[in-house]
Structures are given as C-alpha cells and as structure tokens.
Amino acid sequence: MDYVAALRGRRLIVATAIVLVVGLLVSAVVRMAMPHSLASDLSFGNIAHEKGAIVTHTVLPNGDKKTVTVLPKKHTRIVAIDRGYLGGTVTITRPARKGERPTKPRHNFSFAISSTASTQNGIHTSTIRLSGRTDLGFFAVFAIFVGLIVATMRALSFASENDGHLEMTFARPVARELVALRIVATDTLTIVTTEALTILAGIAGLAMYVSPNLAISPFTGAVLLGAVLIPMAWYGSLLCATASMKRGYGVVVGLAWPIALGLPGIASIQSSLPLLQGIQALSATLIHIDPLWYLKAVSINSNETMSDLASVWSRSTDTALLSVAILAVVYIGAAMLQWRRVEA
C-alpha cells in the first residue's frame, strides 16, 4: 500500500461515507413523513370511493389488516393485505379484457416489488407484493456508478506525482514498478471500499421502508464482478491517458466522460454519407476499448423474468466481463510502462 495514495483514498472514502449518510438522513426524514405503512397505498383507496364500491375491513389473526374492495358493476375484486413494515400484498381479480388470451402465471420483479399475472377461464388475476425479492445485484449496479466516479478521481495518481514532486517520488528506495503497483493497489482498495459502502447504504435505505428480502442469483455474481472490473478498466484507461502528463491532465479527464458515453450513440448512426459512414465505422471499433460500453452487460431491466436472470451468463455477459478485465490489465500495464519512463 502506498502511503500518499492511502491518505488521498481515505479522504475519498470519508467524503463518500458523508454523502451516503446525508442521503440516508434525508431518506429517514421522508420515511417519517409518510404513513406508518406503505402498504396502505396499495389498497387502491381511490377505487373504494367509486359509486357502488363495497369495502370491507378486517384484522387477521396475525395482526395483518385486510381490505376487500368489490366493484359489482365491473366484476372486480381487490384484496389488499397490509403487513405494516413487512410490506403488503394486493390481488386484483377481474374479467379478462378483449384480446387477453389464457396465460400461465407470469412473474416479474423490480426493486423490492414482485408481481404475478395470469389469465385463465376468462378471469385475469394479478398480484403485487411490496417487500418482494430484491436481488443484491440491484445495489451493486448503483455502486458501479459510485466506483466510476471514485475511479475518475483516483485515475490522476501518476499525473499528480508528475506535477511538482516527481524527484521525491523516484527517490524512494524501491523500484518504480513497485511504487506504481502500490499506488494502483491502494486506489483499487479505495474504489472497492466506496462501492461496498454504497451497497450497505442502499440496503439500509431499503430497510427504512420495508423489511429487506435480499436474494442472490447469477445476476448478483455478474454485477459484483462488473462492479470491480468496469471501474478498474475505466481507472486504467484514464491512468494510461494521463501517466506521462505533468499538467493539463484535468482536461483529459473532463473530456473522457462525454467521449466515452457518446461513442455508442455515434456507432449507431445510420447514414448514406461516406463521411458519416466512416465515423460510424471508426466508433463501432472504438467502443470495444471503451470501458463504459460494457455497462450494458450488467444493466437492470425490470421486465426481465426470473428465468432471464437465472440465465444471465448465457447473454454473453461472461465474454463482456472477460473483455473488460483484459482492458483493465492492458490499460494499467501501459500506464505503468509510461510512468516508468517519465523523467523529472
């Protein structure tokens, strides 16, 4: 571990922790301003005021509150079970609409909410569950973006050493390669630590609203691996771009984000103009060395089913993560070679 890099990393970790704590405090204030139970919002109180609606309230033996709303004219029945902090369940039964064909139960889920829908014998049934299955990978996706920000800030490690005190840096009684490895290892630890804090803060934020029902799947493994590899590849690319610079490196970092984010869009351009076709072809090639392009390998799609997530590795995610791992090694290696040759 490099002492100077560790001091800078510690400041970043503390700053990240402060931002996350502030976010949790804001979330706590919002939660306290809400009704005691979020599940009450799932009881469709506005429907209960419709003309002809029949509403029945009961308390189940375990203390859960059950609300049954019947709309005779629409042949619709809504059963809402309020479990307080533990969430709630709403089941809606109605006649199938025109064009709705018989289907088997279809399971979908997104952040802390799961749903099931099916159409059989002319009856459509849908169930929504608050405090449903929440894959740990969801929190890791948000951690990736925190990791990318921290990686951007730490990617100037070599350039910062070049700026004014390179003589002192290279006067250390160790080989330059070892100094570089220590800096990279310390920065890696900083990035991973801030991501871990983000995941913990996300779980704590969820716990303020409903009891976390965390789950682990192949999606979790893919995202956790991506949370390490993608920020490290991004860190390596910026480190490589600025390793030989003694000043002006802020401009490189400032332009890196819009260029990296814009490449996929440029690569998708469809035009008959030769110039635009040339630019599109060049961009389509460059995106493969753009670490941010590989974010698509661990993206969240709330329309995916459980079986889709179970087969996440069959969607070329493994190839994408392998590619971004190679990029990280190549970029960091190239940066170290550059820095090794920098003269004071």
pLDDT in tens, 169-178: 666 666 778 8
CB 144 within 8 A of CB 226: yes
pLDDT of res. 126 = 83
pLDDT tens column, 71-111: 888 888 888 888 776 777 888 888 887 776 666 655 554 55
DSSP, residue by residue, 258-308: HHHHHHHHHHT---S-HHHHHHHHHHHHHGGG-GGGGGGGG---TT--HHH
Asked whether the predicted pLDDT for residue 25 surpasses 80, the reply is yes
- Looking at residue 316, its pLDDT comes to 63
Band (64; pLDDT cuts 50, 70, 90)? confident
Identify the pLDDT of residue 106.
54
Q: Where are the alpha helices (DSSP H) in the chain?
A: 3-33, 45-48, 136-154, 157-162, 166-170, 176-207, 218-242, 249-267, 274-286, 306-310, 317-341
Residue in 227, 217, 196, 248 with CA at minimum distance from that of residue 295: 227
Better-predicted residue by pLDDT, 307 or 80: 80
For residue 105, the SS3 value is strand
Q: Which two tokens stand for residue 49?
A: 């005021």
Better-predicted residue by pLDDT, 226 or 111: 226
Residues 122-150: tens digit of each pLDDT: 888 888 777 666 778 888 988 999 999 99
Place of tokens 């984000």: 257
